[in-house]
Structure 1
Amino acid sequence: MNDLRFVEYSPLYLDNARHTYNYFIEKTTVSFDLEPYMPEQMTSLMMPLNDLYRTYVILSNGDYAGFVLITQHKKKPAFNVTGEVTIYLEPNQTGKGIGRPSLEFIEQVARELNFHSLIATICSENEGSIRMFTKLGYEKVAHYKEVGYKFERWLDIVVYQKVLKTE
């Protein structure tokens, strides 16, 4: 069983997070980025734009396992009630039951920050993420066909949404 902890992101984890993200850039269609991130690009991804958003490092049994974040969904102020949720796990940490509690954790953070809904944008090939989001009550609300091109093929994205039950 994993002893999971979530700590607010700090630059101490920059190299770990960059390693994780660059793996998914270089080896998978999980990220639609095409070139590995440099440290300054990764800093921009990890640092919240303002106090509405959060980034957490996932620690499993005390070791870095990945990161989870809520970012801006759209730039117009009326969208500030909706966040985009993203989870990246170290490749050797996938399939170990870390994703679900990480998503549940960030949902609780979103509730505390008074978000009304969360959006997850996922490559349609990423069946594991789709299963996890679906099991946690996210509904498929969009399917965009052939919107990305990577590894010599066209890629679709699907969007899943969950309206949060706020107390």
Structure 2
Amino acid sequence: MPFSLRDATPSDLSAIAEIYRESVLNGVASYEIIPPSESEMASRFSANTSLGYPYIAAVDENGALLGYAYASAFRTRPAYRWIVEDSIYLAPAARGLGIGRALLTALISRCTELGFRQMVAIVGGAHPASIALHRALGFEETGLLKGTGYKHGRWLDTMIMQRPLGDGKDSDPNPSVYPGTLFEG
């Protein structure tokens, strides 16, 4: 399936909300139980993009959204400002076609360019395909939280994975590369 990547825009929000809705209702990547409304998804989109975090869309040759990926703050305390968390969601028909890999590769590149030093993946349900994708792109397993989510009538484990960006922890970060409006001082 031919596809291309571009920055997500507010006009994508209806499709973003639908892809996420399907994941919430049928998957284990998100531990939400009730899908958020489109207006809530718009609020989340605005909160991330207004702070300069990348939000990337994968679209088919007709412009239909196949999936999306974004980075967000791992935690909001200032010492964490160099770490981002990734999120990736795909439409059911887009799974297993390399679109997730393309999205995550682009997200890693964009976050590295912005000066972030670590990317963390919190893999809900310890989903094997997500773990394999992250591992293939240089993430290492750094922790397993057992029985941390209860969804679809079963307890789910959560895998924590981490990947260095740029110099990672081998040098001091440059505050002028990514000043980050989320973090003051």
- TM superposition score category, shorter chain reference: over 0.9
- Any idea what the Cα deviations from partners look like across 1:107-166, whole Å, max 9, x if unmatched? 110011100010010024411111010011100011101111111211110011001124
2:41 match: secondary structure = helix
1:96 match: secondary structure = coil
Q: How many pairs were matched up? A: 166
Match of 1:28 in 2: 27
Superposition TM-score, scaled by structure 2 size:
0.84
1:52-131 matched pairs, under 5 angstroms? 52-61=52-61, 62-131=63-132
Unaligned runs of 5+ in 1: none
Q: Distance in 1 between matches of 2:114 and 2:42?
A: 22
Runs of 4+ in 1 over 3 A off after TM superposition: none
- Any idea what the Cα deviations from partners look like across 1:78-126, whole Å, max 9, x if unmatched? 1010000111111110011111111110111001110001001002441
Unaligned runs of 5+ in 2: 169-185
Superposition TM-score, scaled by structure 1 size:
0.92
- Any idea what the Cα deviations from partners look like across 1:12-60, whole Å, max 9, x if unmatched? 1111000000000001111100001112211133221643412122223
User: Which structure has the bigger radius of gyration?
Assistant: 2
Equivalent pair of 1:139/1:161 in contact (CA under 8 Å) = yes
Match of 2:180 in 1: none
Match of 2:134 in 1: 133
Equivalent pair of 2:126/2:159 in contact (CA under 8 Å) = no
> Which of the pair is proportionally richer in strand?
1
1:56 match: secondary structure = strand
